[in-house]
A = this chain, B = another copy of it.
């Protein structure tokens, strides 16, 4: 039973996912594509034999669309997700679920009214084999209860359009989601410490930043976000627990010895780092739909929490204060703790 997917938004990530659904995921077919730029929609649709539709509403309504993929511009996410929920169709929305807490809550309420999970948010780290091993070790009880998490999220460089607020909204948001899931815990406060900024990039930007999160259970997280680190794309995560620690591995690369050095490669882009995670994310999403089951990935509630926590972090950056996240109580509908 092939799942027929309609895609809203044919920019870079939309095209990537269309290719992925076609060539890397079995059991799926992209049947319809839309974009505000019709030529771009055509360019994405043609190679996979999909048709172009005028807008998101048409994609959602189409008979040959079983599930919707939202990869449009962030501010439009809420509208499309709400429409898909209203139509009772499963919808995968790239992050963010919505740009405001209010819109996120609207989706959460609509989904609860529908009575069954329809929404999955595109936080792919939960599908990375390293993070999954981390969670397995924590779950095994071998090292006891977690107390501290040390993280780093480093990119070689960002364009001038990247702002200080985006360090939380666009970059740290991945750690926010994956740590909530990893720890099965909620983030209750946030603080930002700003080292002197690197001189290697645009003067307007606070970079690096150190974000400090506290969870409901009292775990403390320090996260270095450094988006102009020059040397590579480097994701680090170490969980310190009562009887030991566990650390995310670097990607496996050959070791070379030459010229008085032992060296391994450091990746320079996130596409290579998380390609497998993206593939797994979509394979599991399609598999759950094909099986008629609700999605098990990041939920609308997770999307809401990420939006609230990252907004609070921007406030913490701008105010210099510790900011409480003041999340609403988690509905039983979403299960779990975080």
Q: Which A residues lie at the B interface, using CB under 8 A? A: 22-27, 129-130, 133-134, 137, 142-145, 147-148, 150, 152, 193-200, 208, 210, 212, 214, 217-220, 222, 224, 226, 229-232, 234, 240, 242-268
Contact at B255–A242, with CB atoms within 8 Å? Answer: no
Q: Which residue of B lies closest to A20 (CB)?
A: B26
Contacts of A198 in B (CB 8 A): 144, 147, 242
Contact at B240–A226, with CB atoms within 8 Å? Answer: yes
Contact at A220–B210, with CB atoms within 8 Å? Answer: yes
Q: Could you write out 17 A-B pairs with CB less than 8 Å apart?
A: A145-B199, A147-B196, A147-B226, A148-B195, A152-B240, A193-B214, A196-B218, A200-B242, A224-B240, A230-B242, A230-B244, A231-B260, A231-B261, A244-B257, A244-B258, A245-B258, A247-B254
Contact at A231–B247, with CB atoms within 8 Å? Answer: no
Contact at B261–A265, with CB atoms within 8 Å? Answer: yes
Contacts of A23 in B (CB 8 A): 26-27
Q: In whole angstroms, what is the CA distance A199 to B268 when docked?
A: 35
Distance of A135 from chain B, by nearest CB (Å): 10
Contact at A137–B26, with CB atoms within 8 Å? Answer: no
Known: A243-B259, A252-B252, A260-B267. 6 other contacts (CB 8 A): A133-B254, A245-B256, A245-B258, A246-B257, A261-B264, A263-B263
Distance of A181 from chain B, by nearest CB (Å): 16
Contact at A249–B252, with CB atoms within 8 Å? Answer: yes
Given A195-B220, A198-B242; A252-B254 close (CB under 8 Å)? no
Q: In whole angstroms, what is the CA distance A194 to B27 when docked?
A: 49
Contacts of A263 in B (CB 8 A): 261-264
Contacts of A265 in B (CB 8 A): 260-262
3 tightest A-B CB contacts, nearest first: A244-B258, A196-B218, A249-B252
Contact at B266–A245, with CB atoms within 8 Å? Answer: no
Contact at B143–A258, with CB atoms within 8 Å? Answer: yes
Q: In whole angstroms, what is the CA distance A251 to B219 when docked?
A: 29
Q: Which residue of B lies closest to A147 (CB)?
A: B195
Distance of A260 from chain B, by nearest CB (Å): 5
Contact at B254–A262, with CB atoms within 8 Å? Answer: no
Q: Which residue of B lies closest to A21 (CB)?
A: B26
Distance of A21 from chain B, by nearest CB (Å): 9
